[in-house]
Amino acid sequence: MANKLHMKNQVWEWGKKTYIMGILNVTPDSFSDGGKYFPIEAALQHAAQMVKEGADIIDVGGEATRPGFAVPISEEEEIQRVIPVIQRLSQEVDRPISVDTYKAKTAELAVAAGAHMINDIWGLKKDPEMARTAAYCKVPVCIMHNKENTDYGNLMEDILSDLEQSIELGIKAGIKEENIILDPGIGFGKTWEQNLVVMRNLDRLKQFGYPVLLGASRKNFIGRTLGLEVNERMEGTMAVTAIGIMKGADIVRVHDVLQNTRVAAMTDRILR
């Protein structure tokens, strides 16, 4: 696989450092910061702050996706939420922009508005047009593992098999291999104990040869492990960030950019 990724004015060299993806939820009901960055000016200010703190890319999401709690929204509503923000960010923020969506039309319009990456929590499988759209847009796409339940024959083998199916789906549709990024789907289709097992075996995703994105920031398995509410999970997240990097993560998707940037820099200095 290619060892470099070009996005906007950045060249990402896999294996040289860990890249930080800052989370920008433009939703009224996100599990960790619902409504806080919903107005466009607040979203832009937060994005600028994340860039200042070290974010390499900003991930814009218009639909809360917390399993069991979030209410799905229409494609039209998602588009209304994210497209104006992406248009402004592309003009005002000197970083690549990712769109967090599993809807093909949202992804296509987001790229046309200035997004540089598609982050699909359903691994190209929810919307039958997503693989084709990602190939057409010619941008990197993060393929995340997800499923409707937490039943597995063999946890890691099943996850790897599902990811392999998503990879094949993408390549068949025309997505270039250098544009594929994998995500184990921490917090999606997994119990909190299963999330711990996935973290322990994160390095197994590297067998495919693609970069790995880890999105575990403030998630429930940290809260369940430590007995903490969502706004108290920073230290747990930083521990997961460090271990994730040790297990091969190339990108970490986080809410608390400054703290996790420092953790990543220190971990990289030791490992790389």
Does residue 201 belong to any structural domain of this protein? yes
Instruction: Provide the domain count of the chain.
Output: 1
**Amino acid 31: pLDDT:** 46
Say whether pLDDT at 38 is over 70.
Answer: no
pLDDT in tens, 164-178: 999 999 999 999 999
Rounded to whole angstroms, the Cα distance separating 107 from 120 reads: 9
Average model confidence (pLDDT) for the chain? Answer: 94
Does residue 12 belong to any structural domain of this protein? no
Report the pLDDT averaged over residues 182-193.
98
Does residue 5 belong to any structural domain of this protein? no
Q: Catalytic residue numbers?
A: 219, 253
Does residue 6 belong to any structural domain of this protein? no
Does residue 210 belong to any structural domain of this protein? yes
Say whether pLDDT at 29 is over 90.
Answer: no
pLDDT in tens, 68-116: 656 789 999 999 999 999 999 999 999 999 999 999 999 999 999 999 9
Report the pLDDT averaged over residues 179-188.
98
pLDDT in tens, 113-138: 999 999 999 999 999 999 999 999 99
Report the pLDDT averaged over residues 178-196.
97
Does residue 9 belong to any structural domain of this protein? no
**Amino acid 102: pLDDT:** 97
pLDDT-derived band at 28 (thresholds 50, 70, 90) equals confident
pLDDT-derived band at 27 (thresholds 50, 70, 90) equals confident
Segments forming the whole domain that contains residue 40: 17-271
| CATH number (domain holding residue 234) | 3.20.20.20
Does residue 11 belong to any structural domain of this protein? no
Say whether pLDDT at 200 is over 50.
Answer: yes
Does residue 8 belong to any structural domain of this protein? no
Give the global pTM. 0.94
